[in-house]
Copies of this chain bind each other. A is one copy, B any other.
Amino acid sequence: MDVSLAVVGATGAVGELILRVLVEQGFTPSKIKFLASEKSVGKTVTFRGDTHAVELLTPAAFEGVQIVLSSTPASVSKHYAPIAVKAGAIVVDNSSAWRMDPDCPLVVPEVNPEELHHARKGIVANPNCVAIPLTVALKPLSNLSPLRRVIVSTYQSSSGKGATGLTDFNAQLTAYAAGTAVPEPTAHRAQLAGNVITLDWTLDDNGYTEEENKVVNETRKILGTPTLGVSATCVRVPVRIAHCESVNVEFERPVTVAEAKAALAEAPGVVLMDEFAGDFPQPLHAAGTDHTYVGRVRLDPSNPNALNLWVVADNLRKGAATNAVQCAVELVRRGIVSPR
C-alpha cells in the first residue's frame, strides 16, 4: 500500500508488537520508518523478515510521513505529536497524553470508528488497555438498551507495566515457585508473584488510582455517554499477559441473557464463550490473540435491569498495538489518509 508510516517507540514492547500486527493485518506500507529516543539508536528492529536500523526521533524524521503510530511516555508524546502533525502526519497515539482532549477522538474501531473523522488536532488517541475490551463488550449491549451504570473490577497482568514489569514479575516468580526469598520488586509496587496488588498505580486524592480514573473517563468518552455511571477497581494479578474484567452492567430496561448473548455473538471483535459447554475466557487463551473474549453472561439476581459478564483480552494486542493498527487501517479505508 502506497502509504508512508512511522513507528515511534519502535523498540518498546508495544512498538515491536505494532510491527508484527501490521504484517498480520496485511497493512504493509510502501515506506516505513522506525523511530526511537537516543538510548535506542543503534538498535535494530525486524519487519517483514528484514532487519532495520532505528532512527533518532527528531522533528525532521517526520518529513513525508502520513501516519505515525506512537508508543512513548505521555511526556514525549505531548512534545512530538504536534510536531508530527505540523509535518503533515496524522498521529495514532498510545500514551495517555491526548485521550481526554476534546479535540482528539479516543477510538476503538469496533465501537466508534466514525470519530476518526473528527481528529481536529491531527491526533487520534488509543485508549487504555482496560477501556478497550470493556467498550468492545459494552457497545453491542448498549444497542439493546441504553446503559445506566457499569461496575468493573479488573484482573490485570504484569505486562501492563511494560517490559520492566515482566522482568520484575519473572524474577519474583522463579523465587516464589522455588520457595526461596523473593527479590524486592523493581517495577511493580509490591511483590506480585503469589500476590494481588490494588495500588500498582498512582493514587489520586479521591482514593482512586490513575488507572481507575482512566477506565471511568475513557469508557464514557468512547461510548459517547459522558454522564454514564462507571465505578472501577483496578487490580494487578500474577499473570504475564492479558487482562480480565468482572463487569456488572445496569441497563435502562431489563435485557435478557438470550438477547445479550445474541448481540455479543454478532458483535465485531467479540468471541462469545459458552459456560454451559465448559468454556470461559482465560488470560492464557487470550494472550497472543486480537479478540475480546466475553463469557459468564448472566442475570444479576440483585437488580432486574443488570447483567454480569466476564471479559478478557490481550492487553498488549487489543489493549494497545492491535487497536492502534486497526485505527491506521481504518484511517486509510475511510479516505482520511489517501494512498499516494
- A interface residues (Cβ-Cβ under 8 A, vs B): 149-151, 153, 155, 170, 173-174, 176-178, 190-191, 194-199, 203, 206-208, 216, 229-231, 233, 235, 237-240, 244, 246, 248, 257, 275-276, 278, 280-284, 295-303, 306, 308, 310, 312
Contact = CB atoms under 8 A, between A and B. Distances in A.
Contacts of A296: 198, 207, 233
A149 B244 contact: no
A155 B275 contact: no
A192 to B, nearest CB: 10
A195 B230 contact: no
Contacts of A153: 153, 233, 246
Contact of A301 (B216, B299, B312): B216
A282 B237 contact: no
Given A153-B246, A190-B282, 10 more contacts: A155-B237, A174-B177, A196-B237, A196-B282, A198-B280, A207-B298, A208-B298, A231-B302, A233-B296, A237-B237
Contacts of A238: 194, 237-239
Contacts of A306: 231
